[in-house]
């Protein structure tokens, strides 16, 4: 690990100012991913701006009946928050499906959203990687890619985004609040991450120095049920082979509102717009759910060793949506 | 029954126990290896990075001290420009701080003449050859009768090929050494399963008399075989300390372990069983293909358990190996037995299905009268007792053999059984037992307690012989200035060190029985079992066991979760229930991990093990092992040692993977013949 400067501002505005002054600076929140990457030499910040004293940990109601989650709210605290558990069970379930108890105790909301891919080539500085060093190539396409993307990948990068939380937020139509050198703005969470295209090094749409200050959830729709399901071979402490987050409102046997997002399939939480469009107004039954999931996944382009993700994601979606329609939570 | 807590338990949970990287000798500096980034070739030049006053040395093959040949090419570090595998050490940075050493190591630029590499194991590889021996000194091939004729004539034939990829030991404590020279005398703290082996090797490499080398390994954070031989870390630390004239600490980063400390080599195993409709095996063949490195031959002896387990009129057991540009494989908990019994015990399950027999009954019907391969009588053979007792405890009776029919909602549920076996190995050792003024006793033996509870059990052995409470016995282990102790490997520690302790304590008791007053300095008796152990035996000596698993498989996802694992073992006399159960349960957990999780990929493009950290190489976590139970049957065996114990460190991992995979088959009807049994290998299951 190379030596770095370390500052601990006490306000978001001050933190943004520090970042803006030094392009080699990085925000440090829980550090569960950034510090690992620094040890590996993947991240080499000149300056760490520790957000530990910035008061962004609160979780509270919004004026319209939604929930505003401070960027630094710990994953463990958020998962246990009674308002989250009651109104947004998909979010609590996704958080608890992630990482380990120890990691959830320090990992933050915004840090979770901005964590980097666990692609083995990205993490090994002795190997090429278009995301880490643009133009060097992507060995994952021919190499070890069991856990990598089947949707939205490019010839330049097949990385997946590892977050569970982000998948739930995508299904919930969450909004990200940002503070930057030029002021505050908001972004739908589904627009936060980018697909790789020919610039896999660009992972999100934050402007230089911008800080996520909060994530807001719209009020839950009347009658909405939600759930998260994650498949993994290890019973805990493993990234998703595939996961699905779903929010469903059924009225008189038909789908009134639906939000679906897949995890573990792409470089971003994959909001299933095609499936949702098919389902709106359709009978809330297994056949509809299956057809919608298959339509969404028709665009999948598996590599040699990750084709299992496609039927897996379909099965998870059908099961979760059917369960929500039937009134059981999972 | 003895149920004693670990003597060092309090030290461990309070942090007082000192491991190899814990000493802080004054002036100590840090060393960090630079791994090769090509899989085969020559180092042309090594360019240190930016100048840093904290960096004391950057050693390369050009300027590192010359080492004598100690018979292990993996320890000839920085002695030549050849690169035999990716991750081999090509330079060593020594610096004032760990951070400076790591930073400088990352900045070293190495130029190579890279050569095409060969790392993909295929059955028709032109380099496949028949070795003379497999690990453990076993003959590579054993042929008894005409297998082909017997197989062809059999009423039922099973012919199946099983595959296991590379597996990694990954002890919690990475391999670490602290080395210091005082004049011509070398002291190392090393994370080792055998200090005397390290001492001998270092003495040879550096041209020292053995008594000028002290190796300390008072506490070791697991090894699973990977610390059974000296590793590059201890040689590099000693080398660096000599060059810079200061003590040197070197702890390998987790990511370097798969390349530098051995691993279980991948195996492709063909098993053929020819049997009558009554399940009696007439012909048995177990044929292994594995690989080793270009540095050193290591042949995983996976066909050896087939020479022990079941009766058959004719048999053939063979090992073939190919040298490739990969890291050197070595011992990993139950080498041979662990991978071999996955294949053999899976094939037994397939045979049970084919002849419509209960798999417990099939095994009972194939009990041999004597060891099938050698014809030697067994000193004791507890497999039938373990199968029956395990079946009773597990609730096996009345099991519906049909696969894929037990549903609980979206889950399919199944059960499986497999046998375990591990040989009794005993090595010569020495020990001293001293009666101290004041009524206490001191046991001195260079045992390596790698988390097994060795020091506890050895104190108990002495206490029993001396007929005193164990609280009056102190014990010193883990230093080469103690009486010689053999390696903590092959499940031999307790029997080997314990025999020496037993012998010394027995003689001391006899001396004390005379009633003469104890001399003021106390009275010491030393024993060496070289002659006793060297007498050998006419018996085939093995421990056995039976493991029963229950799994559930999610039909949506193929996720397999192990619900229950129950093992019953016959391993001679159990000396201390608490630490024995911990050993057996630990082995079973590791076996369950091998069955369902541990997956390592040899990257064909780069020639390294792709999954090199515990985030990507999945070992079982607590959630994966909710219910693991280990029991044993009473077994008297007068033909092993005066202790009557057979060794329990490894048998727990043997057969587990087959029991789990057989349970997955029972649950789903899908036979997975490649480990680990991960969801993607089950294909689509009926919803």
pLDDT in tens, A204-227: 999 999 999 999 999 999 999 999
On whether both B63 and B203 belong to a single domain, the answer is yes
Residue A330 pLDDT greater than 50, yes or no: no
Q: Is the dihedral of CA A60, A62, A67, A73 positive or negative?
A: negative
Q: How far apart are CA B90 and CA B249, in angstroms?
A: 18
For chain B, say whether A316 makes contact (Cβ under 8 Å): yes
A237/B680 Cβ within 8 A: no
B624/A316 Cβ within 8 A: no
How many other CB atoms sit within 10 Å of the CB of residue B209?
9
B560/A233 Cβ within 8 A: yes
On whether both B68 and B92 belong to a single domain, the answer is yes
Chain B CB contacts of A127 below 8 Å:
606
Closest partner CB to A234 (pick from B606, B618, B687) = B618
Element (DSSP H or E) covering residue B579: helix B577-596
Span A46-71, average pLDDT: 98
On whether both B346 and B366 belong to a single domain, the answer is yes
Report strand pairing: B89-95 vs B29-35.
Answer: antiparallel
Omega before residue B676 within 30° of 0, cis: yes
Chain B CB contacts of A311 below 8 Å:
684
Interacting residues of B552 by C-beta distance below 8 A, sequence separation 6+? B408, B411, B412, B413, B560, B561, B563, B667
User: pLDDT digits over A111-126, tens only?
Assistant: 999 999 999 999 999 9
DSSP B433: E
Interacting residues of B629 by C-beta distance below 8 A, sequence separation 6+? B393, B564, B565, B566, B567, B585
Q: Distance (Å) from the C-alpha of residue B466 to the closest C-alpha of chain A?
A: 47
Least Cα distance to B336 among B306, B368, B379 occurs for B306
Residue A329 pLDDT greater than 60, yes or no: no
B684/A144 Cβ within 8 A: no
Chain B CB contacts of A142 below 8 Å:
605
From residue B325, give the alpha-carbon distance in Å to each of A326, B129, B245, B413.
56, 16, 35, 42
- Opening angle at CA B443, ends B437 and B447, nearest 5: 165
* Residue at B510 is within a domain: yes
Q: How far apart are CA B216 and CA B239, in angstroms?
A: 17
For chain B, say whether A143 makes contact (Cβ under 8 Å): yes
On whether both B418 and B429 belong to a single domain, the answer is no
What's the domain count of chain B?
Answer: 3
Interacting residues of B15 by C-beta distance below 8 A, sequence separation 6+? none
Q: How far apart are CA B177 and CA B234, in angstroms?
A: 5
A234/B616 Cβ within 8 A: no
Closest partner CB to B621 (pick from A1, A127, A235) = A235
Strand stretches in B437-578, DSSP E: 441-444, 473-476, 523-528, 542-554, 560-570
Nearest CA in chain A to B621: A236
B103/A1 Cβ within 8 A: yes
A144/B597 Cβ within 8 A: no
* Residue at B327 is within a domain: yes
B490 and B195 Cβ atoms separated by less than 8 Å = no
Q: How confident is the model at residue B157 (pLDDT cuts 50, 70, 90)?
A: very high
Closest partner CB to A236 (pick from B604, B611, B623) = B623
HEC letters along chain A: CCCCEEECCCCHHHHHHHHHHCCCEEEECCCCCHHHHHHHCCCCCCEEEECCCCCCCCEEECCCCCEEEECCCEHHHHHHCHHHHHHCHHHHHHHHCCCCHHHHHHCEHHHHHCCCCCCCCCCCCCCCCCCCCCCCCCHHHCCCCCCCCCCCCECCECCCCCCCHHHHHHHCCCEEEEEECCEEEEEEHHHCECCCCCCCCCCECCCCCCEEEEEEECCCCCCCEEEEEEECCCCCCCCCCEEEEEEEEEECCEEEEEEEEEECCCCCCEECHHHHHHHCCCECCHHHHHHHHHHHHCCCCCCCCCCCHHHHHHHHHHHHHHHHHHCCCC
Burial of B513 (0-12, 13-18, 19+ CB in 10 A): exposed
For chain B, say whether A218 makes contact (Cβ under 8 Å): no
Q: In what order do the strands lie in the sheet with B55-59?
A: B55-59, B89-95, B29-35, B248-251, B176-182, B185-190, B213-216
Closest partner CB to A233 (pick from B410, B556, B678) = B678
What's the predicted TM-score (pTM) here?
0.97
Domain boundary at B534, B558, B579, which?
A: B534
Domain boundary at B534, B551, B575, which?
A: B534
A210 and A310 Cβ atoms separated by less than 8 Å = no
On whether both B366 and B484 belong to a single domain, the answer is no
* Residue at B257 is within a domain: no
* Half-sphere CA count of A77, side-chain side, radius 13 A: 14
**For residue B158, which phi and psi values (nearest 5 degrees)?**
-110, 130
A315/B611 Cβ within 8 A: no
From residue B217, give the alpha-carbon distance in Å to each of A161, B398, B447.
43, 51, 9
pLDDT for the residue numbered B1: 67
Interface of A with B in 105-124 (CB under 8 A): 118, 120
Closest partner CB to A237 (pick from B561, B621, B676) = B621
Nearest CA in chain A to B555: A315
Q: Distance (Å) from the C-alpha of residue B683 to the closest C-alpha of chain A?
A: 8
On whether both B327 and B413 belong to a single domain, the answer is yes
Domain boundary at B504, B534, B564, which?
A: B534
Q: How confident is the model at residue B514 (pLDDT cuts 50, 70, 90)?
A: confident
Q: How far apart are CA A54 and CA A52, in angstroms?
A: 6
pLDDT for the residue numbered B393: 98
Residue A328 pLDDT greater than 60, yes or no: no
For chain B, say whether A125 makes contact (Cβ under 8 Å): yes
Q: How far apart are CA B214 and CA B179, in angstroms?
A: 10
User: pLDDT digits over A218-270, tens only?
Assistant: 999 999 999 999 999 999 999 999 999 999 999 999 999 999 999 999 999 99
On whether both B316 and B338 belong to a single domain, the answer is yes
Span A122-135, average pLDDT: 97
Which residues in A245-275 are b (16+ Cβ under 10 Å) and which e? bbbbbbeeeebbbbbbbbbbbbbbbbbbebb
Span B639-668, average pLDDT: 97
* Residue at B1 is within a domain: no
Residue B151 pLDDT greater than 60, yes or no: yes
Q: How far apart are CA A200 and CA A264, in angstroms?
A: 17
| Domain ranges, ordered by start, for chain A | 225-326
Chain B CB contacts of A3 below 8 Å:
99, 103
B611/A234 Cβ within 8 A: no
B555 and B561 Cβ atoms separated by less than 8 Å = no
Closest partner CB to A235 (pick from B558, B561, B684) = B561
User: pLDDT digits over B72-128, tens only?
Assistant: 999 999 999 999 999 999 999 999 999 999 999 999 999 999 999 999 999 999 999
pLDDT for the residue numbered A171: 98
B610/A143 Cβ within 8 A: yes
For chain B, say whether A1 makes contact (Cβ under 8 Å): yes
Chain A CB contacts of B561 below 8 Å:
235
Nearest CA in chain B to A139: B605
Interacting residues of B520 by C-beta distance below 8 A, sequence separation 6+? B437
User: Is domain A225-326 in CATH 3.30.390.50, yes or no?
Assistant: yes
pLDDT for the residue numbered A3: 86
pLDDT for the residue numbered B500: 98
pLDDT for the residue numbered A2: 78
Longest dimension (CA), chain A: 62
Span B284-312, average pLDDT: 98
B99/A3 Cβ within 8 A: yes
On whether both B145 and B196 belong to a single domain, the answer is no
User: pLDDT digits over B233-281, tens only?
Assistant: 999 999 999 999 999 999 999 999 999 999 999 999 999 999 999 999 9
* Half-sphere CA count of A179, side-chain side, radius 13 A: 19
Least Cα distance to A233 among B560, B412, B562 occurs for B560
On whether both B431 and B417 belong to a single domain, the answer is no
For chain B, say whether A144 makes contact (Cβ under 8 Å): yes
Span B597-610, average pLDDT: 98
A276 and A257 Cβ atoms separated by less than 8 Å = no
Q: Which residues of B are catalytic?
A: 650
Burial of A23 (0-12, 13-18, 19+ CB in 10 A): exposed
Best B86, B102, B610, B619 member to test A by mutation, with max A CBs in 10 Å, is: B610
Span B436-456, average pLDDT: 97
Chain B CB contacts of A120 below 8 Å:
610-611, 616
* Residue at B43 is within a domain: yes
* Residue at B388 is within a domain: yes
Q: How far apart are CA B356 and CA B367, in angstroms?
A: 18
Element (DSSP H or E) covering residue B421: strand B411-423
Q: How confident is the model at residue B537 (pLDDT cuts 50, 70, 90)?
A: very high
Residues of chain B contacting A, Cβ within 8 Å: 35, 37, 99, 102-103, 106, 410, 554, 556-561, 596-597, 601, 603-606, 610-611, 615-616, 618, 620-624, 676, 678-680, 684, 687
Q: How confident is the model at residue B405 (pLDDT cuts 50, 70, 90)?
A: very high
**For residue B516, which phi and psi values (nearest 5 degrees)?**
-65, 145
Chain B CB contacts of A319 below 8 Å:
410, 556
For chain B, say whether A315 makes contact (Cβ under 8 Å): yes
* Residue at B15 is within a domain: no
Instruction: Please provide the average confidence, as pLDDT, over all residues in chain B.
Output: 97
Q: Distance (Å) from the C-alpha of residue B677 to the closest C-alpha of chain A?
A: 9
Best B626, B680, B684, B687 member to test A by mutation, with max A CBs in 10 Å, is: B680
Number of H helices, E strands in chain B: 14, 27
Q: Distance (Å) from the C-alpha of residue A107 to the closest C-alpha of chain B?
A: 16
From residue B2, give the alpha-carbon distance in Å to each of A188, B20, B456, B581.
64, 31, 11, 12
Q: How far apart are CA B224 and CA B264, in angstroms?
A: 11
On whether both B407 and B348 belong to a single domain, the answer is yes
Closest partner CB to A1 (pick from B99, B557, B558) = B99
CATH number, domain of B83, equals 3.30.365.10
Q: What is residue B246's three-state secondary structure?
A: coil
Q: In what order do the strands lie in the sheet with A242-251?
A: A225-231, A242-251, A254-263, A270-271
Span B169-195, average pLDDT: 98
Residue B286 pLDDT greater than 50, yes or no: yes
What residues make up the domain containing B304?
133-166+264-424+541-681
Closest partner CB to B597 (pick from A142, A234, A315) = A234
- Opening angle at CA B337, ends B335 and B339, nearest 5: 80
On whether both B628 and B672 belong to a single domain, the answer is yes
On whether both B488 and B344 belong to a single domain, the answer is no
B623/A235 Cβ within 8 A: yes
B604/A233 Cβ within 8 A: no
DSSP B108: -
A233/B676 Cβ within 8 A: yes
Longest dimension (CA), chain B: 81
Nearest CA in chain A to B676: A233
């Amino acid at each position: 690990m190379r030596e770095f400067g370390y500052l601990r501002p006490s306000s978001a505005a001050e933190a943004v100012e520090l970042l803006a002054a030094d392009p080699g600076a990085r925000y440090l929140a829980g550090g569960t991913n950034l510090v690992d990457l620094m040890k590996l030499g993947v991240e080499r910040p000149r300056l760490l701006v520790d957000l530990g004293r910035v008061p962004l940990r609160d979780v509270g109601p919004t004026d319209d009946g939604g929930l505003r989650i401070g960027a630094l709210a710990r994953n463990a605290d958020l998962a246990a928050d009674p308002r989250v558990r009651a109104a947004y069970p998909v979010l609590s379930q996704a958080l608890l499906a992630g990482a380990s108890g120890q990691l959830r105790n320090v990992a933050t909301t915004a840090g979770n959203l901005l964590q980097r891919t666990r692609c083995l080539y990205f993490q090994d500085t002795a190997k090429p990687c278009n995301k880490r060093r643009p133009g060097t190539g992507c060995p994952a396409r021919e190499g070890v890619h069991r856990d990598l993307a089947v949707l939205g990948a490019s010839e330049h990068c097949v990385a997946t985004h590892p977050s569970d939380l982000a998948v739930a937020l995508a299904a919930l139509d969450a909004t990200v609040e940002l503070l930057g050198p030029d002021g505050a703005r908001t972004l739908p969470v589904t627009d936060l991450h980018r697909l790789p295209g020919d610039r896999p090094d660009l992972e999100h749409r934050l402007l230089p120095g911008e800080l996520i200050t909060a994530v807001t959830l719209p009020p839950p729709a009347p009658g909405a049920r939600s759930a998260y399901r994650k498949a993994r071979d290890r019973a805990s402490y493993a990234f998703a082979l595939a996961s699905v987050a779903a929010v469903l409102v059924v009225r008189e046997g038909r789908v009134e509102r639906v939000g679906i997002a897949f995890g573990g399939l792409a470089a971003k939480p994959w909001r299933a717009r095609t499936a949702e469009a098919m389902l709106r107004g359709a009978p809330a039954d297994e056949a509809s759910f299956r057809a919608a999931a298959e339509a969404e996944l028709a665009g999948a382009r598996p590599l040699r060793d990750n084709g299992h993700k496609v039927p897996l994601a379909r099965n998870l979606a059908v099961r979760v949506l059917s369960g929500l329609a039937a009134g059981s939570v999972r | 029954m003895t149920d004693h807590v670990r003597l060092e338990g309090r030290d461990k949970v309070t942090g007082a126990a000192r491991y190899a990287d814990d000493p802080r000798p004054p002036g100590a500096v840090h060393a960090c290896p630079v791994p090769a980034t090509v899989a085969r070739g020559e180092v042309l030049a090594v360019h240190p990075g930016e100048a840093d006053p904290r960096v004391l040395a950057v050693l390369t093959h050009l300027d590192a001290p010359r080492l004598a040949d100690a018979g292990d090419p993996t320890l000839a570090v920085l002695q030549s420009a050849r690169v035999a595998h990716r991750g081999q050490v090509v330079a060593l940075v020594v610096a004032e701080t760990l951070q400076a050493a790591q930073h400088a190591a990352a900045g070293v630029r190495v130029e190579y003449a890279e050569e095409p590499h060969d790392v993909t194991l295929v059955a028709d590889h032109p380099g496949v050859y028949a070795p003379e021996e497999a690990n453990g000194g076993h003959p590579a091939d054993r042929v008894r009768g005409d297998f082909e004729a017997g197989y062809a004539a059999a009423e039922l034939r099973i012919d199946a090929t099983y595959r296991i990829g590379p597996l990694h030991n990954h002890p919690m404590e990475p391999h670490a050494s602290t080395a210091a020279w005082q004049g011509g005398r070398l002291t190392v703290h090393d994370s080792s399963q055998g200090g005397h082996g390290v001492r001998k090797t270092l003495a040879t490499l550096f041209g020292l008399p053995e008594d000028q080398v002290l190796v300390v390994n008072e506490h070791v954070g697991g090894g699973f075989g990977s610390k059974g031989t000296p590793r590059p870390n201890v040689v590099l630390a000693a080398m660096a300390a000599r060059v810079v004239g200061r003590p040197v600490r070197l702890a390998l980063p987790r990511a370097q372990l798969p390349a530098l400390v051995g691993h279980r080599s991948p195996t492709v195993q063909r098993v053929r069983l020819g049997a009558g409709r009554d399940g009696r095996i007439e012909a048995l063949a177990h044929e292994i293909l594995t690989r080793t490195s270009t540095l050193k031959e290591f042949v995983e002896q996976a066909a050896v358990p087939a020479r022990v387990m079941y009766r058959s009129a004719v048999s053939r057991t063979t090992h073939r190996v190919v040298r490739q540009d990969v890291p050197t494989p070595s011992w990993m908990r139950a080498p041979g037995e662990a991978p071999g019994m996955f294949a053999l015990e899976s094939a037994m399950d397939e045979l049970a299905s084919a002849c419509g027999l209960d798999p417990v009954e099939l095994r009972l019907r194939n009990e041999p009268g004597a060891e099938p391969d050698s014809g030697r009588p067994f000193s004791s053979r507890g497999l039938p007792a373990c199968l029956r007792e395990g079946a009773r405890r597990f609730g096996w009776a009345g099991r519906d053999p049909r696969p894929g029919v037990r549903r609980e909602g979206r889950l399919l549920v199944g059960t499986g059984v497999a046998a375990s076996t591990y040989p009794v190995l005993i090595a010569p050792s020495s020990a001293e037992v001293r009666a101290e003024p004041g009524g206490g006793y001191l046991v001195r033996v260079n045992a390596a307690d790698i988390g097994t509870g060795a020091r506890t059990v050895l104190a108990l052995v002495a206490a029993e012989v001396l007929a005193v409470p164990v609280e009056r016995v102190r014990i010193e282990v883990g230093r080469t200035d103690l009486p010689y102790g053999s390696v903590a490997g092959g499940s031999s520690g307790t029997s080997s060190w314990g025999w020496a302790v037993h012998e010394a304590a027995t003689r001391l008791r006899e001396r004390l029985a005379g009633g003469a007053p104890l001399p003021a300095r106390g009275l010491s008796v030393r024993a060496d079992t070289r002659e006793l152990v060297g007498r050998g035996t006419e018996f085939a000596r093995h421990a056995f066991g039976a493991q029963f698993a229950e799994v559930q498989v999610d039909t949506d996802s193929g996720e397999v979760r192990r619900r229950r694992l129950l093992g019953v073992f016959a391993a001679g006399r159990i000396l201390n229930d608490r630490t024995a159960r911990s050993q057996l349960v630990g082995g079973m957990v590791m076996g369950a991990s091998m069955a369902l999780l541990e997956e390592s990929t040899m990257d064909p493009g780069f020639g390294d093990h792709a999954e090199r950290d515990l985030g990507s190489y999945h070992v079982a976590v607590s959630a994966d092992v909710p219910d693991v139970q280990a029991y044993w049957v009473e077994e008297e065996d007068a033909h092993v040692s005066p202790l009557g114990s057979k060794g329990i460190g490894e048998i727990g991992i043997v057969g587990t993977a087959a029991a789990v995979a057989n349970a997955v088959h029972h649950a789903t009807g899908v036979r997975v013949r490649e480990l680990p049994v991960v969801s993607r290998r089950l294909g689509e299951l009926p919803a």
